[in-house]
Amino acid sequence: MFNIQPLPSNPAPLQRIDPLLAEPLPITLYLKRDDLLHPLVSGNKWRKLKYNLIVAQEQGFQTLLTFGGARSNHLYATAAAGQLLGLKTIGVVRGDETALLDSPTIRFCQAAGMTIHQVSRAAFRDKESPNFLAELVQLFGPAYILPEGGTNDLAIRGTAEIMPEIIVQLGTAPDVVCCAVGTGGTVLGLAASAPPQTDVIGFMALKGWSPPLDPAYPNLGYQTAYHFGGYAKTTPDLLQFMVDFEAETGILIEQVYTAKMLFGVLDLARKGHFKPNTTVVAMHTGGLQGRPHPHPLSL
């Protein structure tokens, strides 16, 4: 048996959001609460780690090694999962991030037992190269390697479990499922498991890039207009939206992914993008460790 018991069991609740921001909208909106999957191994990062953790243990690895930046939810989730499962964790980070060792994310990772290994900017850029990986194995011993952001085939197998849960919880296939996109692993899993009548919309959290459209996923599309200046950038409008949404619903969100996606969903709804009475399921992908404390406007 694989030792995944300390980690969360599915499914995460599906919650109707109604009334919304005191404003009737021509859609029925649900939030898939993957933020509630686990307090530390949060949201889509748990989905993406799940089968990787099973395979790592199946293959006898005692160490997880991965990559990230000063605010990486993936690094945070990997450190927490490693601690829960009794696996050593190594976090390879760019050494020239000056604020790095002071970041709450990195401090959490270290407190959870992760060894933080700082490397040069050039080495970090080349982190997938066989030579660099061999060097890391020399230093730290055999390790199960997870890519930066956590997206690989096993991650997509995990995120492909979300859609069937939604369909069971809703009692029918949703018209539209919306999800924030970083590396794209979450939205690809949703699209891979979507029935033909369900559209999947990925909202880019980064500026100026979206994954190429793939004929294998005809119901997957991307919205690129809701990046708010770029990855982890915010605007007063976005932060005010977070304040209003949180006050109205009692559900905390964060500004890097879910707030941008929800802002986009409501903006599109207001502009008539969805047919009347469309059922939209928006993914709460978690990541609340990165939410500004105590309040969005404190950012």
Ligand X SMILES: *Cc1c(COP(=O)(O)O)cnc(C)c1O
Do the Cβ atoms of 187 and 200 come closer than 8 Å?
A: yes
Give residues 202-241 in contact with ligand X (rule: CB under 6 A).
none
Angle ∠(100,158,29) on CA atoms, nearest 5: 90
Q: Does 264 bind ligand X (CB under 6 A)?
A: no
Stretch that binds ligand X, among 20-28, 37-45, 118-126, 234-242 (CB under 6 A): 37-45
Among 186, 193, 198, 234, binds ligand X (CB under 6 A): 186
| Nearest C-alpha neighbor of 273 from the set 210, 223, 235, 214 | 223
Give residues 63-102 in contact with ligand X (rule: CB under 6 A).
73
Q: How many chain residues touch ligand X (CB under 6 A)? A: 18
Angle ∠(78,257,299) on CA atoms, nearest 5: 95
Angle ∠(64,70,72) on CA atoms, nearest 5: 55
Q: Does 198 bind ligand X (CB under 6 A)?
A: no
Q: Does 182 bind ligand X (CB under 6 A)?
A: yes
Among 238, 285, 291, 296, binds ligand X (CB under 6 A): 285
- For residue 161, the minimal CB distance to ligand X (Å) is 14
Among 268, 287, 291, 296, binds ligand X (CB under 6 A): 287
Q: Does 52 bind ligand X (CB under 6 A)?
A: no
Residue 9 vs residues 6, 34, 112, 253: alpha-carbon distances, Å: 9, 11, 21, 22
Q: Return all residues near 250 (Cβ < 8 A) that are at least 6 apart.
A: none
Q: Does 184 bind ligand X (CB under 6 A)?
A: yes
**Separation CA 248–CA 241 (nearest Å):** 10
Which residues in this chain contact ligand X in the complex, by CB under 6 A?
43-45, 73, 149, 151, 180-186, 257-258, 285-287
